[in-house]
A and B are shown apart, each in its own frame.
Chain A
Amino acid sequence: MKIGVLAVQGAAREHLVAFGRLGVAAVPVLRPADLAGLDGIVLPGGESTAQWRLLSRAGLGEPLRAALLEGLPAFGTCAGLILLAREITNWPERYFGVLDVAVERNATGRQVDSFEARVRVDGLGEVPAVFIRAPAIRRVGPGVEVLGTHAGEPVLVRQGSLLGATFHPELTEDLRVHELFLGMCRKG
């Protein structure tokens, strides 16, 4: 099992550490060649606009899109969810567009409104979560399951081999959401 973590910009290190603690090999992904032999990929938090510009200008955009369309399991957290989403309600761009949800960028407001909370996840119970200038999931397509909620709103969703979170499980010690993703990679 080998997991890649997109490392053009953002919190890749925290995901690499989380997989390390789970005893799973994880490698940073910066170039098309880094996609070879992966069983899954994490698109971490960061700035989605910066991440997209970097990966598209460095020639990683099309190979990664192709890998996602071929069914490479992917887990997007925060900015990573924005990169996966089919629609961004308050921004003119659309990135990979493979996960059938509509997201609103920076929906929780500015940094002074960022927060930590416990979210409810199906089968896991309460999971600690950090929300940083977090996006909100405003629409969920018919093939998308809502796995986690906070204050009645979806915060963790799954569509086949794609997982998306509006929060940052990698900023906590709790590894259960990463384990959930590893389970999806094993199936894939």
Chain B
Amino acid sequence: MQKGTYRVKTGFAEMFKGGVIMDVTTPEQAQIAEEAGAVAVMALERVPADIRAQGGVARMADPKRIKEIMRAVSIPVMAKCRIGHTAEARILEALGVDFIDESEVLTPADPFHHIDKWQFRVPFVCGCRDLGEACRRLAEGAAMLRTKGEAGTGNVVEAVRHMRLLNDQIRRLKDMSRAELVTYAKELGAPVEILEMIQELGRLPVVNFAAGGIATPADAALLRMLGADGVFVGSGIFKSENPEKRARAIVLACTYYDDPELLAKVSEDLGEAMPGLEIEKIPEHALLQYR
């Protein structure tokens, strides 16, 4: 009997496909998410929109908060640690969280490296903006990926940008010779062996969700149309007027993304969405995706 193998980690991520993972800050919100049909919750102290508004250093949540959320629901519980913060990750693993998100939404802790995720029994999900970043995170042992988008903005444009870029790069890879692939690997900053694996599969070797700016059922459907295996919704649910109804609608939209009539029905009368931000109006140093 072997625990924490890569197959156990990536296999768990396969179980999330077609689902919605929701940011929650209280046990009550976690129960709303579970009842709405979330496949997992992300336990946080502040949603990205508040982190963005309040500024300061954003760290791993208080273990007490995470444990309360773990007790409140039967679905998997994820939690975020800072990029490169191996100690926060060890604490989350000791708490028994089901997945760790090494996340750019929190303030990075290591200016040089990400966490060596092969050293952990708990699986990790990491953000990426393009194929190079995706391959580097896989080389470090990530068992799941998510495109970064721009968290806390309620603006889906960056999530779409990153998903389109990934798709385009994987498509270009398909017809490359070995020599071209080696040059491309250098260009992307990606390990050759991982690129070769992706070339052979014709897709990423792990589950890839979309994240960062998804606020409506239509946003979720759009990212699914672009090939996302599922979506993370951060501020989009509990910063909206009617979280229960919006959460249920996003869950249905994520599965039935190719059914416009159903999308029209679930999009009706959801109340106000979270307020959105234009990416161009955010100063570059305040963009989370470059972390």
Contact = CB atoms under 8 A, between A and B. Distances in A.
A111 B122 contact: yes
Contacts of B97: 110
Given A12-B18, A47-B38, A111-B99, 20 more contacts: A7-B18, A9-B255, A11-B14, A46-B18, A47-B15, A47-B40, A49-B37, A50-B38, A54-B251, A54-B252, A57-B37, A58-B256, A79-B15, A110-B96, A114-B12, A115-B8, A116-B7, A130-B7, A133-B12, A171-B14
Contacts, number: 121
Contacts of B248: 53, 57
A43 to B, nearest CB: 13
B5 interface: yes
B8 A50 contact: no
13 contacts: A9-B255, A10-B15, A10-B17, A30-B256, A49-B34, A53-B37, A53-B248, A54-B252, A91-B74, A111-B98, A117-B1, A132-B11, A171-B11
Interface in A32-77: 45-47, 49-50, 53-54, 57-58
Contacts of B76: 47, 110-111, 133
A11 B255 contact: no
B4 interface: yes
Interface of A: 7-14, 30, 45-47, 49-50, 53-54, 57-58, 78-79, 91, 105-106, 109-117, 130, 132-133, 168, 171
Nearest to B12: A132
A114 B76 CA distance: 12
A133 B36 CA distance: 21
A177 to B, nearest CB: 15
Contacts of A110: 76, 96-98
B75 A111 contact: no
Contact of A114 (B3, B34, B38): B3
A187 B35 CA distance: 39
Contact of B37 (A10, A11, A54, A130): A54
B249 to A, nearest CB: 10
B79 to A, nearest CB: 12
Nearest to A151: B1
B2 interface: yes
The 4 closest A-B pairs by CB, nearest first: A53-B37, A111-B98, A9-B18, A171-B11
A8 B39 CA distance: 12
Contact of B75 (A45, A50, A132): A50
B8 A47 contact: no
A129 to B, nearest CB: 10
A40 B256 CA distance: 23
B290 to A, nearest CB: 30
B32 to A, nearest CB: 13
Interface string B170-207: 00000000000000000000000000000000000000
Given A115-B1, A116-B5, A50 B39 contact: yes
A62 B256 CA distance: 18
A110 B122 CA distance: 10
Contacts of B40: 47
Interface string B1-32: 11111011001101111110000000000000
Contacts of B255: 8-9, 30, 54, 58
Contacts of B236: none
B123 interface: yes
B11 A106 contact: no
A115 B122 contact: no
A168 to B, nearest CB: 6
Interface in B126-174: none
A42 to B, nearest CB: 14
B74 A50 contact: no
B30 to A, nearest CB: 12
A68 to B, nearest CB: 21
